[in-house]
Amino acid sequence: MPTSKKPISFFVHHQGRGHARRAMAIIRHFSEDRPVSVMTADPSLFDGFERAIDVIALPNMIGAAVPTQALYDQPTPSVMHCVPMGVVEMRQTMRRILDHLDGIDAGLFVIDVSAELALLSRIASVPAVSIRMHGDRNDPGHLGAYEASVAMLAPFDERLEQADYPAHLREKTFYSGGLCTTAAAVPSREEARRRLGLDPDREIVVALTGGGGAGTPYAPLTVAARAAPETLFITIGPLHLEGHETDFANLVNAGWVDNVVEYLAASDIVLASAGDNTVHEVAMLKRPYIVAPEWRYFNEQQRKAERLSELSAAVNMPAWPGDFAGWQAVLEKARGLDVEKLATLYEADAAERAARWLEATVDGLWEGAPTAAATSANAVNTAIERA
């Protein structure tokens, strides 16, 4: 369908699944006649996506070899984070991105996430929106990327923003509210337990890990099982094993499951990392939340967990207890949480709000610009006049 709307292109990091799911959640709400493309090193993340989009495969730069020691020894500029020298895959990635943006005459480049690509986009004269993430990001590289972007999109409630985020950047940030990418219907606690064959009355703690982490630490959970023998602990996703764990009857590993929402709905308490979607999924379900931040670059999850704790929306567990009393104290704090404080951080229409804002942003930036046909006609007329 012919359209005069400027295309929006996304860069989607392929680590884990969260970046791709967030992009799809937003793209679903774009106008049908909005041209959309996605650039990623793992196109399979978008397999089965119901909306017609162009998916452009990028080389996988992660772990690509630097060809010589002299190139390897070159220091990283303070305004950048990951720019090794002499890497063919990196050069090919940058060329492919620029060729694509130029080829579609992109009106907006949504970057989730890369500080360097925000700088590249500004140098290439393409307006960029950077996805805002938590963490210690007041370094020259991040600040430069934010300042190079026309705006930032924060897929969370403004109350979760960090106090050290500069005021001039907050002013150019759109807060969509808590964006959850989970599309499955949420059963009641009773119905979820019936489907899963779980005791309708027993306290259940569900511990889960997303696709971007190393797995839920299993050894500490064996201590939790002994500290709370009347509680059933269920783990979802991969486990990190030390090799010396002893299994307990009230500690069950469900592994990778397709019905994660059912397990979460069946829970009395959720123990999970501080990934963006996880936070908002637990908020959507209104469950007491023990947040166990995983290691991420720039302390992303640690800072987010701190904000959740400061808002009394979750129990921050920066270290996994190794003793009975430690687990008993954490569980008791979780039981005493007011779940409404977490629930208010979730917005059912956050993805739609983000989509509408992105479309309004690109339309506003290009309002009054000559169309491609008009530009071509002007070029022809100029050439005739000069002849």
Per-residue pLDDT 10s for the chain (387 aa) are 456 899 999 999 988 788 999 999 999 999 999 999 999 999 999 999 999 999 999 999 888 999 999 999 999 999 999 999 999 999 999 999 999 999 999 999 999 999 999 999 999 999 999 999 999 999 999 999 999 999 999 999 999 999 999 999 999 999 999 999 998 889 999 999 999 999 999 999 999 975 556 789 999 999 999 999 999 999 999 999 998 999 999 999 999 899 999 999 999 999 999 999 999 999 999 999 999 999 999 999 999 999 999 999 999 999 999 999 999 999 999 999 999 999 999 999 999 999 999 999 999 999 999 875 455 445 445 444 554
pLDDT at 383: 44
pLDDT at 380: 41
CATH of 8-179+348-386, one of 3.30.70.260, 3.40.50.2000, 3.40.50.720, 3.30.565.10: 3.40.50.2000
What dotted CATH number matches 189-343? 3.40.50.2000
CA 84 from chain center: how many Å?
A: 25
pLDDT at 62: 86
Measured distance between the N- and C-terminal CA atoms of the chain, rounded to whole angstroms: 37
8-179+348-386 matches 189-343 in fold = yes
Choose among 154, 121, 157, 115: nearest CA to 22: 154
Distance CA 359, CA 15 (A): 26
Amino acid, res. 34 = R
Distance CA 33, CA 30 (A): 8
Domain assignments of the chain as residue spans, ordered by start: 8-179+348-386, 189-343
pTM of the shown model: 0.92
Taking CA atoms, 67 is separated from 71, 87, 95, 191, in Å, by: 7, 7, 19, 58
pLDDT at 379: 43
Choose among 265, 249, 248: nearest CA to 257: 265
pLDDT at 384: 44
- Is residue 319 within 8 Å of 294, Cβ to Cβ? no
